[in-house]
Structure 1
Amino acid sequence: MKLFHRSLVASAALTLAACATTAPPTPVALQAPAAWQAPLPHQGSLQALAQWWTRLNDPLLVELIASAQTVSPGLAQAQSRVAQARASQVASRAALGPTLDGQAQASRGFNEQLATLASTAQAGLQARWEIDLFGANAAAASAAGHRLAGAQALWHEARVSVAAEVAQQTSSLRTCLAQWALAERDAHSRSETARLSTLSE
């Protein structure tokens, strides 16, 4: 009988131990080199990189990029993913703390037994706090924070991608216009040369 109780206690302990989650390994701090190949044009400042196109001193390009970013569906999608990840992070953090639920109800009706109007009111309050014994809620909150950081990085990537595409297309258009103006001047020069050649004959 003692053997049965001991084996029952041991199996219960093993069952509970199987439910435990292990903490994620602590990240190893790796030293990155100071510079890879060449100095960065923004000197490593992410703030300067966020609006790199304003440093070109081209107000039209800045306006075009701002307009493109407001109507870009890819950027809007990335922005909605950031909002969704932020809401998920708030919800997962809320699971770590206590909850308080309240409800109230009131009714008024005719009581047939008393032959009069009767009013009833009820109110209830319920508080609850679930202890995060195995760390699942803390792990979910941490994962939600990382998902938010990833969504924000993708949003910045979408912004820079739209800005780069607009800058490239604007530069291509200006190059074409400059070549067109050069071709017009060349055609005018050739026709003037031909006119002068016919006059000298």
Structure 2
Amino acid sequence: MEVVVALGVVLFVLISIVALVLINSFGQKGSENRTIALNLAREGIEVFRNMRDTAKLQKSGIPNFSSESHYYYLVFSASTNSWIINTSDVSWTNTRLYLIPYNPLGVPPTFPIYVPTVASNVYTNFQRRITVDSICSDVTKCSIGTAGVCEASETDNCVVANVSNYVGYRIKSEVQWLENNQTVNLELVDFLYDWR
């Protein structure tokens, strides 16, 4: 009888330890995915901020973004060491991210970077899409928009009819990934002004 009770206690302790290890493992993976997604979203916003700041410093023109096709995805060109901004449709096509080795100096170490092109067989669960909306200088020009942000359907109010009607862009960087058979979304929003 005492042996059965002792075995029961030992079995209970072992099951508890295994359960704690599994829960910790799932939590750690979820935390890792969220950190990667947050960094990818932050990178998406920083690409646009860098483009604006570089154009200001070089006194060159800054590209205006169409409010008709306001979904974009980023492609990193390792040969020119720069980002290329491509338009995307409303869906999440062309947004899956792949890992490729990147070595800018030609000497070890090599760093993995996330790119949206099938440059390697190492695909990830992450997808990134950037949404760019115009910020109007006059809120009445964007009666449908919120907080002065023009909606995509209002092409004649802010950008196309009169370039001076907008003062910047709202950049929304969305990252989506699959975790425990569920789609998880993370988005960061930033307002970039002085876009001229």
TM range (shorter): under 0.3
Which of the pair is proportionally richer in strand?
2
Task: Tell me the TM-score normalised to structure 2 length.
Answer: 0.25
Larger Rg: 1
Which gives a bigger RCO, structure 1 or 2 (Cα 8 Å, sep 6+)? 1
| More helix by percentage | 1
- Taking structure 1 as the reference length, the TM-score comes to 0.24
